[in-house]
Amino acid sequence: MDGEKTGSGAVVAQLTFILGGARSGKSRLALRLAAASKRRVAFIATATASDREMAERIRRHRAERPGDWYTFEEPLRLDRAVHQAARVADVLLLDCLTLWLSNLLQAHEQAEPEMAAISPEREAQVLEEVERLLQAARALRSDQQLIVVSNEVGLGIVPLSPLGRGYRDLLGLVNQRLARAAARAYFLIAGLPLDLKRWQAEGLEAILDNDRSGL
């Protein structure tokens, strides 16, 4: 287990978090980082072929990955998938948290799934699953790496249904937890990565400079 303490909690040295909107280039960056490692890679896929269009997307994504990568398909238990993948690979690429959260909520579908809001109990269960994922990341060897991809869905139109708004808000909380814990975090805009951890450090340093100068 490898981590360091900061003011915001434990930072997981093995964890890289990549966030972005649809077609922002986030998955492509994750693939490039994994391939550039020149090490054994395992791809953890959360997508399920729920319809023909999604099945075609899955086929295209598989074709983009090198043939010698391991693939683990796990729509729900991310901690278990990380433990399994870590037995055979050095770099683990999990893509993505967005579909995982959708899978998890659908697995516990309520009577009126299109209208019902997400309960506090369900939200707590989701965040417990996120903590299990982080524990699995902390348990990796110091020379292993976990790259996690997720969507930023909070910048667009406000969803019409209570479920949609709850999903948006809950994914935002999930993303916050991963970004806070990750040693490296990037936000993709139009294919270009922004280094969030560097921005965080530079912003903190600017605040401290202002305090020291009495501004």
pLDDT in tens, 62-98: 778 898 999 999 999 999 999 999 999 999 999 999 9
Q: Is 47 annotated as a binding residue?
A: yes
Contact yes or no for 89/102 (Cβ under 8 A)? no
Token code pair at residue 119: 């309960």
Q: Is 61 a catalytic residue?
A: yes
Q: Is 64 annotated as a binding residue?
A: yes
Question: In this predicted structure, which of 4-13, 62-71, 183-192, 197-206 has the lowest mean pLDDT?
Answer: 4-13
| Neighbour tally for 67: CB within 10 Å | 6
Average pLDDT over residues 177-199: 97
- Whether omega before 96 lies within 30 degrees of 0, making that bond cis, reads yes
Q: Is 77 annotated as a binding residue?
A: no
Q: Does the annotation flag 5 for ligand binding?
A: no
Query: According to the per-residue pLDDT averaged within each range, which of 111-115, 121-125, 179-183 is highest?
Result: 179-183
What is the pLDDT at residue 203? 77
Is residue 117's pLDDT more than 90?
no
In the predicted model, is pLDDT for residue 214 greater than 80? no
| 71 annotated among ligand-binding-site residues | no
pLDDT tops 90 at residue 26? yes
CATH number at residue 16: 3.40.50.300
pLDDT band at 8 (very low <50, low <70, confident <90, very high): very low
Residue 132 annotated as part of some ligand binding site: no
Determine how β-strand 41-45 pairs with β-strand 70-73. Answer: parallel
Query: How many structural domains does the chain have?
Result: 1
**Which member of 40, 61, 165, 168 is catalytic?**
61
CB count in 10 Å sphere of residue 20: 25
Domain boundaries, position 51: 3-213
Length, in residues, of the chain:
215
pLDDT top residue among 89 and 211? 89
187 touches 193 (CB < 8 A): yes
26 neighbors 156 (Cβ within 8 angstroms): no
